[in-house]
A and B are shown apart, each in its own frame.
Chain A
Amino acid sequence: MYDAPASEQKVTQNTTKIAAHKVQVFYGDTHAIKDVDVQIEDKTVTAFIGPSGCGKSTFLRCLNRMNDTIDICRVEGDILLDGEDIYDAKVDPVQLRAKVGMVFQKPNPFPKSIYDNIAYGPRIHGLAKNKADLDEIVEKSLRRGAIWDEVKDRLHAPGTGLSGGQQQRLCIARAVATEPEVLLMDEPCSALDPIATGQVEELIDELRENYSVVIVTHSMQQAARVSQKTAFFHLGNLVEYGETGQIFTNPVDKRTESYITGRIG
């Protein structure tokens, strides 16, 4: 971890949620992530930035073992969630993913009603005791997703009928519904127009109250707007990690400076 004196006060406020140590990822013979050490804090928005193919998405997907679905992918090193190794043989990825939710680049609502989209997670994890309970969870999640007012009259309309920005907020609400502790977002705004992006960014800022949010983004402006901590990846290495303000105004590493000034990437 890169220690910046300026960030000290915030670090003391928040506890470490995820600690990664010497993480390596291989796709077949390709060494995609090299020796990444990072500590992600609770109730903080952490942004991963870097040029395309730098490994930021790959690393994000390691945090809830989404890479397990890819046959040729291999992960080495430790990733601890609240001090427990998530790659331990005893860990069921299903349980892990209930704690570490994920929102994807392209909005991917299920071909079901809005209600069923939200209720899907609580149902499979058995979070609701009865129908009223489930209704409550759905409403709460949609409110947290800042989309309740737009859809409350058509909860049983298909989720695919919403606009792109609404769909993405629906997906965020869907992820929130399982009450995760960490929320991973893989370029959540890249498929959205500026207005929808604004809405989602606002939402991310609100989510910080309850969750630890990790967001991968291509847009440095976005990282600057929404995150408190920023990590810069380049060619599979974590180059620099620190307070967002410090990374953007006073980067330590030459490569970070080149990237944010637009010379590489």
Chain B
Amino acid sequence: MPILWLVLIVLALGAVGYILGRQRAMASAGGDARHLHSLPSYYGSNVAIKAVVPALVLMVIWLLVQPVYINTHVSGMLSETAIPDNSSRGLVMSEVRRTAEGLSNAVNQGLMTEEFATSARADMADVTQRLKDAGQIVTSEVTQPIMRAAQEYRVLSSSLQLYMSIAVILLALLGAAWGLRESQKDFRARNTVEFSVRMLLIGAASIAILTTLGIVLSLVFNTIEFFRLYPAADFFFGLNWAPSFSGRGGSSDLGVLPLLWGTLYISIVALAVAVPIGLFAAIYLSEYASSRVRSVAKPMLEVLAGIPTIVYGLFALLTVGPMLLKVFGDEGLGIMQAGTAVMTAGLVMGIMLIPFVSSLSDDIINAVPQSMRDGSYGLGATKSETIKQVVMPAALPGIVGAVLLAASRAIGETMIVVLGAGAAARLSLNPFEAMTTVTAKIVSQLTGDADFASPEALVAFALGMTLFVITLGLNIFALFIVRKYREQYE
């Protein structure tokens, strides 16, 4: 792994720089550390940072830019005629990449010589056969333009890799030299090092912004791409969800409304379960329970919160679904056809949300000052009167915030609905029917083997965008309410 080696070389240069920088600084002070501006280790660190950081930053940027550059360059080599009718440039490019990778692997395994792999006159059938022998996945016979492109791809990436190594090591050496030159006794090494560390800290903190940016950009670009292939109005106002299964072309109906309805319906059922139970549990735990009961019940609720959603999904599919079917199915009331239904997913999601609602409400109820309660008790109110008429109204904004956060959780929940809600998109009022949600469809549209350029796959990004906007709105609103509420009592 050459990149690993490159990193190790740069780190080694940094280590050597540390020792040299320290020595040089000590020498400039005549061997007495008290004459230095900073501790000797800071001079060493200064050199090490100057050697390592710029070099590694260059490497990361290079690694990010290189594939983009190679892609555009090689893609430019492919003429329009080299692209089959039923394919796209993107598909051909991935074929090129696969072939190039295959060639490299075959060379590594000794099934091909380097000359053979780079030879322009190689027989295509022979190449294909050798690639297959090397265990590489090659779809059909490798065509001449693809082979050419793949060869160019290989040459370009290996030479760029070489340039990168040279550039990175050079930069590391230059940085080390610069740092060494600075290592004089009057140089303020500590301040320089601390400035660099501070920059690192800022960089780490900015990753949160980068993540959001990454989410927004990846959603926006692919959503725009989707709307180029599929009219936005049909997506937002379509009442029918029926993607064609071929994954390419075909007439798919991709209306989001049935999915939004399913999401909403399941979330409502979930909240109808979680909010009363969670709220009453929180009230009981914070106002009534003795500390012994609290010390048992609270961790139990936290266990419920710590269980991964896949477990709840399985619970819905294999336990709750069949149980509901027994009661409401053909043998019982006869209004339920299958175990997967809005009710199943909603009920289980509600169970999942109970600890979420109760712990948030608990915090909020505890934030209501004791003096309020005292005032009420002092007037002769009972505990429940105090809770209903003083504590709850005071805590209401916070609890609304908590419920909104729970709603955003319910809307974004995936595994429970993938396993428990069913796959059919429907606009129905019957909670015992199977419906599906935005999240479940994101999973199913992106885990099939559909081409990423088809509207059937790209719709997942538009769905993701819808989901992101809805949950973000709910979160911002809820956090705003909760924060306002906290400020009120601080």
Closest residue on chain A to residue B370 by CB atoms: A69
A120 to chain B, nearest CB (A): 7
Q: CB of A111 within 8 A of chain B?
A: yes
A174 to B378, CA, bound (A): 10
A94 to B380, CA, bound (A): 4
A141 to chain B, nearest CB (A): 12
A96 to B377, CA, bound (A): 11
Q: CB of B127 within 8 A of chain A?
A: no
B394 touches A94 (CB 8 A): no
9-residue interface stretch from A101-109, A131-139, A221-229? A101-109
B400 to chain A, nearest CB (A): 14
Contacts of B290 in A (CB 8 A): 71
Closest residue on chain A to residue B369 by CB atoms: A108
A125 touches B378 (CB 8 A): no
A122 to chain B, nearest CB (A): 10
A171 to B372, CA, bound (A): 11
Q: List which A94-135 residues lie within 8 A (CB) of chain B.
A: 94-99, 101-104, 106, 108-112, 120-121, 124-125
Contacts of B379 in A (CB 8 A): 97-98, 101-102, 120-121, 124, 174-175, 178
Q: CB of A64 within 8 A of chain B?
A: yes
B393 touches A112 (CB 8 A): yes
Convert B368-382 into 0s and 1s, putting 1 for each residue whose CB lies closer than 8 angstroms to a CB of A.
010111111111111
A175 touches B389 (CB 8 A): no
A111 touches B375 (CB 8 A): no
A77 to B367, CA, bound (A): 35
A181 to chain B, nearest CB (A): 12
A56 to B441, CA, bound (A): 67
Q: CB of B123 within 8 A of chain A?
A: no
Q: CB of A1 within 8 A of chain B?
A: no
Q: Which of B291, B375, B380 contacts A110 (CB 8 A)?
A: B375
B394 touches A110 (CB 8 A): yes
Q: CB of B450 within 8 A of chain A?
A: no
Q: Which of A94, A98, A108 contacts B374 (CB 8 A)?
A: A108
A97 to B378, CA, bound (A): 6
A97 to B377, CA, bound (A): 7
Q: CB of A66 within 8 A of chain B?
A: yes
Closest residue on chain A to residue B372 by CB atoms: A108
B381 touches A124 (CB 8 A): yes
B394 touches A111 (CB 8 A): yes
A94 touches B381 (CB 8 A): yes
A95 touches B380 (CB 8 A): yes
A172 to chain B, nearest CB (A): 12
Q: CB of B390 within 8 A of chain A?
A: yes
Contacts of B372 in A (CB 8 A): 108, 110-111
Contacts of A178 in B (CB 8 A): 379-380
Closest residue on chain A to residue B373 by CB atoms: A69
Convert A150-176 into 0s and 1s, putting 1 for each residue whose CB lies closer than 8 angstroms to a CB of B.
000000000000000000000100110
A246 to chain B, nearest CB (A): 31
Contacts of A109 in B (CB 8 A): 375
B372 to chain A, nearest CB (A): 6
Q: List which A50-85 residues lie within 8 A (CB) of chain B.
A: 64, 66, 69, 71
Contacts of B376 in A (CB 8 A): 110, 120
Contacts of B393 in A (CB 8 A): 110-112
A94 to B389, CA, bound (A): 16
Contacts of A104 in B (CB 8 A): 371, 374-375, 378
Closest residue on chain B to residue A97 by CB atoms: B380
A109 to B374, CA, bound (A): 11
B371 touches A94 (CB 8 A): no
B73 to chain A, nearest CB (A): 67
A125 touches B380 (CB 8 A): yes
B380 touches A98 (CB 8 A): yes
A97 to B381, CA, bound (A): 8
B170 to chain A, nearest CB (A): 68
Q: Please give 4 more A-B residue pairs, beta carbons under 8 A apart, in addition to A97-B379, A101-B380, A110-B375.
A: A71-B290, A94-B382, A102-B379, A184-B378
Closest 10 CB pairs of A and B: A102-B378, A98-B380, A97-B380, A108-B371, A108-B375, A121-B379, A111-B394, A94-B380, A124-B381, A110-B390
Q: Residues of B at under 8 Å CB distance from A?
A: 290-291, 369, 371-382, 385, 389-390, 393-394
Query: Can you identify 22 A-B contacts, CB atoms within 8 angstroms?
Result: A94-B380, A94-B381, A94-B382, A96-B380, A97-B381, A99-B380, A101-B380, A102-B379, A103-B378, A104-B375, A106-B371, A108-B374, A109-B375, A110-B375, A110-B376, A110-B390, A110-B393, A120-B376, A124-B381, A174-B379, A175-B379, A178-B380
